[in-house]
Structure 1
Amino acid sequence: MSPRVSTRKPPITVERIVDAALEVVATTGYDALTVRSIAAVLGTGPASLYAHVVNKADIDALIIGRLCAELDLPEPDPASWRAQIHTVCGRIRDQYLRYPGISRAALALAPGNLDTLRVSEGMLAILLAGGVAPQTAAWAIDALSLYVAGYALERSMVVQRRASTDDEWVASREDLVRTLTDLPADEFPQVRRYATELTAGTGHERFDFALNLMLDNLAVGIPQKRRRP
């Protein structure tokens, strides 16, 4: 007699729920993330998930916490605080871009998840080590996090819409330049004149530009001896 093969399903756990949620987002985008879609990946009914999670907001906190847990945070170095913050923000951006639209979950996230707070702790430590005043550093973390999440959300929306066969709203740079230079000269003289500049640069170049503007402003308030050489 052949041995009996067990058809028993693995138990539902928080880790498996997070794995399934990330699978849904990676394959179909954040808009498709629901308790029902997660349950479908796990081969179970939605009711079985509620023994482990409270609601969709709870799942949002868990998936952002998972991404934060995977981030490597540098040991604060006063001499390279700007580069360190830039690196951390870039890593968060890249995590978000792996999962289309997932940064929407981060935008409405209430502080409380320990993995998310670990990233806030690391960024705060870097800014303080660089000489940024505590209140400024605290608000800077919020501003930087909002910018990174907003940037990633916009990029994800562009990628998703470009992939759609019936949505042609995403124009090429050449089309954008042509549109701007065709505007009425008496109403839009500057936009027409600087159409090339307005449409220049890749997404990540613009990301670096905006991030450096924010970091430059933080550096203004640091005593000269504490600034980066």
Structure 2
Amino acid sequence: MSPNPQQRRAARHRLGTDQDAPAARRGPSGGRKKPITVDAIVSTAFGIVEREGYPALTMRRVAAVLETGPSSLYAHVVNKEDLDELLIGRLCAEIELPEPDPTAWRQQIAGVCTQLRDQYLRYPGITQASFAAAPSNLDTLRVGEGMLAILLAGGVQPQAAAWAIDSLSLYVNAYCLEHSMARGRLQDGGEGWVLSRAELLRRFAALPDSYPQTKRYAAELTAGTVHDRFDFTLGLMVDGLPRSGAADT
């Protein structure tokens, strides 16, 4: 008897491999179409997100692109949440993890977060797939393992390191989600909601005198690129981690 989707999911988590056997197409066009596999479903889902954004991703939409019915997908993935897990796992599989270096741990952890950011920004809104989900995919856990090893090598206390992984991941996810939302508003003609720096400076200058600090420091409030702010926030988070008697490096 062929394994059901739940068994396939369990096998992926234990072995880190896709044990999915391709399903033969039925009907007169069956021989002309590629078989349905987990890999085909995931690749199709990424294409939808890249073109249309994450909110457009549904099991029915994936099935339509693959020219099949939703029931064909459920022979391979458990549900939409399982597909979300596979998407994030595929992106995490492409993250390069350095050998932990106690003398460069800050740069290393920032580098991993930057890789995650750049992966997520390729697919608008994809980080929504990771919210409120405990990591169980082995590729996702591999990144967490690497981040934990880097922080521990830097002398960060184990409990702080464990919570820092969650905090850093949450910040990267939120940053990428905001970035994709702003980009989506621009694409939808919402220039009035995504303001340029010049427009922000003009609005701040026009504020009443009851906002003295905002008027005085308008240049600072609007300075830098979004990635400058990303790097600044990561630095704040990492530098604030408690460390256990290691020399400050």
TM superposition score category, shorter chain reference: over 0.9
Whichever structure has more helix as a proportion of its residues is 1
Q: TM-score of the superposition, structure 2-length normalised?
A: 0.85
| Superposed counterparts of 1:1-229, under 5 Å | 7-165=31-189, 168-185=192-209, 187-218=210-241, 221-225=243-247, 227-228=248-249
1:2-26 CA distance string (max 9 Å, x none): xxx9843221111111101100000
State the alpha-carbon separation in 2 of the partners of residues 188 and 143 from structure 1.
Answer: 32
Count of aligned pairs between the two proteins: 221
Partner of 1:31, secondary structure, is helix
Cα separation, 1, equivalents of 2:216 and 2:128: 36
Q: Percent same amino acid among aligned pairs?
A: 61
> Normalization by structure 1: what TM-score?
0.92
Structure-2 separation of matches of 1:44 and 1:8 = 13
Deviation, 1:36, is 1.1
CA displacement 1:147-180 (0-9 Å, x = unmatched): 0000011111111111113553111111111111
Aligned CA distance change for structure 1 residues 123 and 63 (closer, same or farther; 3 Å): same
Query: What secondary structure is seen at the aligned counterpart in 1 of 2:103?
Result: helix
Moved over 6 A (4+): none
AA at the equivalent of 1:124: L
* Whole-angstrom CA distance in 2 between matches of 1:212 and 1:199: 19
Deviations along 1:41-97, whole A, 9 cap, x unmatched? 211111110011111111110100000011111111111111100100000000000
Deviation per CA, 1:25-47: give whole Å up to 9, x if none: 00100010000111122111111
**Unmatched segments (≥5 aa) in structure 1:** none
CA contact (8 A) 2:42 2:83 kept: yes
User: Structure 2 unaligned runs (5+)?
Assistant: 1-28
CA contact (8 A) 2:154 2:246 kept: no
